[in-house]
Chains A and B, each alone.
Chain A
Amino acid sequence: MRLRAGSAVRLVVWTAVLAAAAMAAGALIKGPLGGYYFRLLILSGIAVVAAVSLNIINGFSGQFSLGHAGFMLVGAYASAGITLFAHHSINRAFDAVGLPAGARTPVEFAIAMIAAAAAAGAVGLVVGLPSLRLRGDYLAIATLGFGEGIRSIFVTVDALGGASGLHDIPEYTTLTWVVLAAIGVVMMSRNLALSTHGRALFAIREDETAAQAVGINTFKYKVLAFVIAAAWAGIAGALLAHSDKNIDPRSYSFMKSIEIVVMVVLGGMGSVTGAVIAAIGLTWLPELLRAAAVYRMVFYSALLIVMMIVRRQGLFGRAELSIRWMAETLRRMTSRALGERR
């Protein structure tokens, strides 16, 4: 690929502007918001990364993966491995190149996240190659099995931390990192969806036989979607591990995968903005329902059930939330209301 200077410069400038804005916003709101809500903000950002990336598999390509938490776990361990065990050698390398003290933590964390993405992407490739030959329910079962299998490996092998997981992970995750990752995955999804590669994924979702008949290498694209999504799940895992300051493999179970699937389904399969809103909503909802004490999860489930009855296609269906979409919906609703009055 020949990367024109224009797009590379644009990418760097936008990243810098966003990072600065997120940093400033984080510093401004952390005090008034309080530690509890600030942490919820971070968790919802991580949920966005997980849900939007899963949407690439479940929403765009129409395959059903139930193993997303497994890839998050791979990313969590890979990044923690770097910040815990390679910390000193990385710092020696920083000494050698004379990197200023302020830039060390971000660069180290960036390396850890790239490692997380690479490791999770590689595991995604290994899992995807055999299991993407399956379809529908069988694929869901296979990915579920792989996800739990990955977790079992981390729990059983003592050299990887064993059942107690990893502790004393530095708290590197800031609002800035979370915002950058969330915007990164959203922009990537959107640009992918608008391109010929995104249309290939949609074609596979709609009709695999017809997709092949127009020359789309369906297997390659399914694996590709799987690997990209797994890599972003790895980044989500890295962010979560460096926010929790420990990795408890039990919290990356099959239930975690289901939670992410629920976000994608609720937002509307294939809708990027839907996944974003559902991820944020479903992170805050159980916390806001704390007032209902023991009935909290009852309300939560009831809300999901009602939602699926009233709007089976999810909040946005396949549409994206945009100014144009809002304007059109508003116009439709008002004209309907006026029409009824007449």
Chain B
Amino acid sequence: MALLEVDRCTVAFGGLIALDEISLKVEQGEIVGLIGPNGAGKTTVFNMITGVYKPAKWRTMTSETESARQVLPTARKRVHYGDIVFDGKSIRHLQPYEIASRGIARTFQNIRLFNNLSVLDNVRSACHVHAKASIPGAILRTEAYQKDERRILKSAVHLLHVFGLGKYKDEMAGSLAYGEQRRLEIARALAVEPKLLLLDEPAAGMNAQETRELAELIKQVRDDFGLTVLVIEHDMRVIMSICNRIYCLDYGEVIAHGTPDEIKNDPRVIEAYLGEG
């Protein structure tokens, strides 16, 4: 069974349909790409999976034409919500923090670090999900609390070393260089110990060298942490080199999906990107 299955989900902002009955599947251990022109709804997919936006309910008529809808307002309707199933359980109703603790972590298109916290504390704050100490325990500094804090410190420092950020651990996160901020955001996401990692344009603003290193890092992280990755990216070299499968979105709909080679030659994808020939 797929690790993540999005089944016919719609997201609407008022009258604007941002996502129109989107369905997609991500299997355990895969790296899946999500591509599409600007405004196609890629980030909205991430926001929907992580619970920032809830899938809207939508109705189908027994008779599906628009005229039938107007003529027959009382026609039998079936209400669908669409569903998001992660690890065998529906996560459609959950709050973002609950979804994170179930094992979905993400990064943001416009980096969102805790700028005035140290690099170490950025990672440590994401270890919160797995912290066991109670609040009275923390205030009284019990043995159990101190042991838990030592464990958190150790795993956070380890993560920082994996990402080559060990030497910056006491710097403020906001003072890091751009590429390092991107890496720190991935490290912070991994501190949640997720099963599924969502990366929103991780290579944005990076040069060719940094981009190559990033692609390697994503593959390495997938293997070392036993992760599944869903990645939004505009840089086709990254997408084509790391993804097992790709979904292409346009105007809130999945217009194509398949292996990198299939996507590269799909006429609908070419049309979405370049316009009709």
Q: Is the Cβ of B114 less than 8 Å from the Cβ of A4?
A: no
Which residues on A sit within 8 Å (CB–CB) of B131? Answer: 196
Q: Is the Cβ of B128 less than 8 Å from the Cβ of A206?
A: no
Name 8 extra pairs, CB < 8 A, besides A191-B140, A209-B96, A210-B108. Answer: A2-B142, A6-B142, A7-B140, A196-B133, A199-B121, A210-B113, A210-B114, A214-B129
Q: Is the Cβ of B139 less than 8 Å from the Cβ of A214?
A: no
> Which of A4, A188, A213: most chain B CB closer than 10 A?
A213
Interface size range of chain B in the complex: 35 or more
Distance of A207 Cα from B115 Cα, bound (Å): 9
In this complex, what residue of B is CB-closest to A8?
B140
Which residues on A sit within 8 Å (CB–CB) of B145? Answer: 195
Distance of A210 Cα from B192 Cα, bound (Å): 12
> Which of B97, B101, B112, B144: most chain A CB closer than 10 A?
B97
Q: Is the Cβ of A209 less than 8 Å from the Cβ of B100?
A: no
Kindly state whether residue A280 has any CB partner on chain B within 8 Å. no
**Number of contacts between A and B (CB, 8 Å)?**
123
With contacts A7-B143, A191-B139 taken as known, whether A215 is within 8 angstroms of B116 at the C-beta atoms is no
Report which of A188, A192, A207 forms a contact with B114, defined as CB distance below 8 A: A207
Q: Is the Cβ of A213 less than 8 Å from the Cβ of B100?
A: yes
Distance of A188 Cα from B134 Cα, bound (Å): 14
Q: Is the Cβ of A215 less than 8 Å from the Cβ of B128?
A: yes
Distance from B174 Cβ to chain A, minimum over Cβ atoms (Å): 9
In this complex, what residue of B is CB-closest to A317?
B116
Which residues on A sit within 8 Å (CB–CB) of B121? Answer: 199, 202
Distance from B211 Cβ to chain A, minimum over Cβ atoms (Å): 24
Tell me which residues from 181 to 195 in chain B have a Cβ below 8 Å from any Cβ of chain A: 188-189, 191-192
* Cβ contacts A to B, 6 pairs, < 8 Å: A2-B142, A192-B135, A195-B149, A196-B124, A206-B116, A214-B192
Report which of A191, A202, A209 forms a contact with B138, defined as CB distance below 8 A: A191
In this complex, what residue of A is CB-closest to B173?
A206
List the 8 closest A-B pairs by CB distance, nearest first. Answer: A195-B138, A215-B100, A206-B114, A215-B129, A214-B126, A196-B131, A212-B96, A210-B112
Distance of A6 Cα from B146 Cα, bound (Å): 13
Q: Is the Cβ of A196 less than 8 Å from the Cβ of B127?
A: yes
Mark contacts of B90-101 with chain A using CB atoms, 8 A cut-off: 1 yes-contact digit, 0 otherwise: 000001110011
Kindly state whether residue B136 has any CB partner on chain A within 8 Å. yes
Distance of A209 Cα from B51 Cα, bound (Å): 11
A residues contacting B by CB (< 8 A) are: 1-4, 6-8, 11, 188, 191-192, 194-200, 202-203, 206-207, 209-218, 224, 318
Q: Is the Cβ of A199 less than 8 Å from the Cβ of B124?
A: yes
Q: Is the Cβ of B125 less than 8 Å from the Cβ of A213?
A: no
B residues contacting A by CB (< 8 A) are: 50, 52, 95-97, 100-101, 105-106, 108, 112-117, 121, 124-129, 131, 133-145, 148-149, 152, 188-189, 191-192
Distance from A180 Cβ to chain B, minimum over Cβ atoms (Å): 15
Q: Is the Cβ of A214 less than 8 Å from the Cβ of B95?
A: no
Which residues on A sit within 8 Å (CB–CB) of B101? Answer: 215
Distance of A7 Cα from B144 Cα, bound (Å): 11
Distance from A36 Cβ to chain B, minimum over Cβ atoms (Å): 36
Report which of B141, B143, B152 forms a contact with A196, defined as CB distance below 8 A: B152
Distance from A31 Cβ to chain B, minimum over Cβ atoms (Å): 37
Report which of A11, A195, A206, A212 forms a contact with B97, defined as CB distance below 8 A: A212
Distance from A302 Cβ to chain B, minimum over Cβ atoms (Å): 30
With contacts A202-B114, A202-B121 taken as known, whether A212 is within 8 angstroms of B140 at the C-beta atoms is no
Q: Is the Cβ of A197 less than 8 Å from the Cβ of B138?
A: yes
In this complex, what residue of A is CB-closest to B134?
A1
Which residues on B sit within 8 Å (CB–CB) of A1? Answer: 134, 136-137, 142
Q: Is the Cβ of A192 less than 8 Å from the Cβ of B139?
A: yes
Distance from A165 Cβ to chain B, minimum over Cβ atoms (Å): 34
Q: Is the Cβ of B192 less than 8 Å from the Cβ of A215?
A: yes
Which residues on B sit within 8 Å (CB–CB) of A218? Answer: 97
With contacts A4-B142, A212-B95, A214-B188 taken as known, whether A197 is within 8 angstroms of B135 at the C-beta atoms is yes
Q: Is the Cβ of B112 less than 8 Å from the Cβ of A207?
A: yes
Report which of A2, A188, A191, A214 forms a contact with B100, defined as CB distance below 8 A: A214
Which residues on B sit within 8 Å (CB–CB) of A7? Answer: 140-143
Distance of A318 Cα from B105 Cα, bound (Å): 29
Q: Is the Cβ of A11 less than 8 Å from the Cβ of B128?
A: no
Distance from B106 Cβ to chain A, minimum over Cβ atoms (Å): 5
Q: Is the Cβ of A203 less than 8 Å from the Cβ of B149?
A: no
In this complex, what residue of A is CB-closest to B96?
A212
In this complex, what residue of A is CB-closest to B100?
A215
With contacts A8-B140, A197-B138, A215-B126 taken as known, whether A209 is within 8 angstroms of B105 at the C-beta atoms is no
Distance from B13 Cβ to chain A, minimum over Cβ atoms (Å): 17
Distance of A85 Cα from B113 Cα, bound (Å): 53
With contacts A4-B142, A202-B114 taken as known, whether A212 is within 8 angstroms of B135 at the C-beta atoms is no
Q: Is the Cβ of B52 less than 8 Å from the Cβ of A209?
A: yes
Distance of A194 Cα from B138 Cα, bound (Å): 8
Q: Is the Cβ of B128 less than 8 Å from the Cβ of A191?
A: no
> Which of B96, B113, B124, B129: most chain A CB closer than 10 A?
B96
With contacts A191-B138, A199-B121 taken as known, whether A318 is within 8 angstroms of B114 at the C-beta atoms is no
Report which of A3, A202, A203, A224 forms a contact with B140, defined as CB distance below 8 A: A3
With contacts A202-B125, A214-B100 taken as known, whether A2 is within 8 angstroms of B116 at the C-beta atoms is no
Distance of A318 Cα from B145 Cα, bound (Å): 25
